[in-house]
Each structure stands twice: as structure tokens, then as C-alpha cells.
């Protein structure tokens, strides 16, 4: 949805909590905080939890929904007043936390479970990886003797409309300076247990009817 696109795009990094050394994406953090506020305000959920003291909360989701579920689980787990079980099951979510938080005392191994299918790009995609990819692309671009023609040569229907010399004299050191600054953004990973599915999907058995 459009709202999901906005959340994905809000990749500014904020502390997990006030004075926390761990940085997390703003969009995921705010979405998880909003969900937790709604849970606390929902009278039906609260009355059910009051009635069943041994019940906990389970979050599940795919892609962005999985990332928000992971973030909500981390927020509840690190909340001093929370005394119930909480777990998250995510399918193909983007990376959500920095490495230090992910490896913190293995706190998430029994709480967060993620499934990654083969070479799915989403669980490997964050600002750090995008900046690194751009840096590598520009490095390869600089090595081309005729960059614009080289990039376009496989696209017969496309024409190079810009002056090739413009690309050859582009101020790459200036661009590279900004890329290095941006790469200070911490790389993100998936916390908890991650299950990688390497095989091809199995077709369901034929209907016996």
C-alpha cells in the first residue's frame, strides 16, 4: 500500500529508546509504537489478557509487517513492566536492528523467528547495503572508457541523450565523499533465529476428489 511505501521510505535512524545506543529505522519504530498503543487502548484485548494471565502476544507478518512485528516484540521484551511472553514470526522482512542489538545475550533466539526464501532481496536490503551498492556501481562506472555508451549498449531501443563527455568529467571524488559519509549509517541485520529456505517451492499434491 501507499502507507507501506511511506514507512519503508522513512529510513532515518532513531534510538530504540531514549538514551539507547542502538539505532533502528524510524518507520519501523513508529509503526510498532503505534500498534502497541492501540493494543493498550483496546478494551477487548486488555480484558482478554486480564482474564488469561498466562497468555502472551504473538506478532506475525510478511515483509514490512514482519519488520514491524519484530520491532514490537523487541519493544515489549525490553519494557520493564512487561511480564508476559511475546514472540514474532516474520516472513521475508527487511533488516531491523544493528548487529550489537541483534547479538545482545542471544535475547531474541526464543522470541523472534524469521523465514528467508532463497535470494530474496528484502531481508538483505537496508540503507547501508544501498549505499554500498551505489558506491560499487560508481566505481565500476568510473572504470568504463565510455561510461554512457557502455551502460546503454545492451538496450537497442534506448538512445544516449546526454553528452558522453559530461559523464567522463563528472566530479566523482565529490560524489564519493558523500557516499563515504552516508556509509556511516550502521548495517542492519535480522535478530533471533533465521531459517533460510534454499529449495524450490513444492507443488501441492493433487486434489483427491
Domain that holds residue 107: 2-124+186-197
14 pLDDT band, cuts 50/70/90, is confident
Residues 101 and 14 in one domain: yes
Please state, for a pLDDT cut of 90, what percent of the chain lies above it: 35
CATH number reported for the structural domain that contains residue 116 in this entry: 3.40.50.1820
Alpha-carbon span 30 to 7, nearest angstrom = 9
- Identify which has the larger pLDDT, 35 or 2: 35
| Res 137: pLDDT | 77
pLDDT value for 164? 37
The proportion of the chain whose per-residue pLDDT surpasses 70, expressed as a percent, equals: 70
Reported as a pLDDT band with limits 50, 70 and 90, residue 160 is: very low
pLDDT at 130: 78
Question: Please, which pLDDT band fits residue 150 given cuts at 50, 70 and 90?
Answer: low
Mean pLDDT across the stretch 176-180?
Answer: 42
- Same domain, yes or no, for 63 and 140? no
Count of domains in the chain?
Answer: 2
Average pLDDT of span 161-177: 42
> Average pLDDT over the chain, rounded to whole?
77
Q: What average pLDDT score do residues 36-53 get?
A: 92
Tell me the pTM: 0.72
Highest mean pLDDT among 8-22, 51-65, 150-164: 51-65
Could you tell me if 102 and 67 lie in one domain?
A: yes
- 170 and 136 together in one domain: yes
State the average pLDDT over residues 87-106.
89
Taking 50 as the threshold, does the pLDDT of residue 166 lie above it? Answer: no
DSSP string, the chain: -HHHHHHHH---EEESSTT-S-EEEHHHHHHHHHHHHHHHH-HHHHHHHHH-TT--EEEEEETHHHHHHHHHHHHHHT-TT--S-EEEEEESPPP-EEHHHHTGGGTTTTTEEEEEETT-SGGG--HHHHHHHHHHHHHHHHH-SSHHHHHHTT-TT----S-HHHHHT--HHHHHHHHHHHTTSPPEE--SEEEEE-SPPPPPPPP--
Quick one: average pLDDT of 146-162?
46
Same domain? 71 vs 27 = yes
pLDDT at 42 over 90: yes
Does the pLDDT at position 169 exceed 70? no
- 82-93 pLDDT, tens per residue? 888 999 999 999
Q: Domain check: are 92 and 157 in the same one? A: no
Same domain, 111 and 137: no
32 and 65 part of one domain: yes
Amino acid at each position: 500500500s501507499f502507507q507501506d511505501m511511506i514507512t519503508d521510505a522513512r529510513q532515518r535512524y532513531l534510538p530504540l529508546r531514549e538514551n539507547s545506543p542502538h539505532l533502528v529505522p524510524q518507520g519501523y519504530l513508529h509503526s510498532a509504537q503505534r500498534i502497541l498503543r492501540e493494543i493498550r487502548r483496546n478494551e477487548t484485548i486488555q480484558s482478554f489478557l486480564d482474564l488469561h494471565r498466562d497468555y502472551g502476544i504473538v506478532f506475525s507478518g510478511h515483509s514490512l509487517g514482519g519488520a514491524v512485528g519484530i520491532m514490537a516484540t523487541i519493544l515489549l521484551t525490553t519494557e520493564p513492566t512487561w511480564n508476559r511472553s511475546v514472540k514474532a514470526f516474520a516472513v521475508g522482512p527487511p533488516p531491523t536492528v544493528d548487529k550489537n542489538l541483534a547479538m545482545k545475550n542471544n535475547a531474541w533466539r526464543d522470541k523472534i523467528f524469521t523465514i528467508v526464501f532463497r535470494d530474496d532481496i528484502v531481508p538483505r536490503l537496508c540503507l547501508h547495503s544501498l549505499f554500498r551498492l551505489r558506491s560499487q556501481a560508481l566505481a565500476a562506472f568510473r572504470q568504463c572508457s565510455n561510461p554512457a555508451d557502455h551502460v546503454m549498449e545492451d538496450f537497442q531501443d534506448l538512445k544516449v541523450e546526454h553528452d558522453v563527455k559530461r559523464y567522463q568529467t563528472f566530479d566523482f571524488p565529490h560524489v564519493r565523499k558523500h557516499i563515504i559519509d552516508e556509509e556511516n549509517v550502521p548495517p542492519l541485520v535480522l535478530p533471533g533465529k533465521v531459517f533460510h529456505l534454499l529449495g524450490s517451492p513444492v507443488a501441492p499434491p493433487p486434489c483427491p476428489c
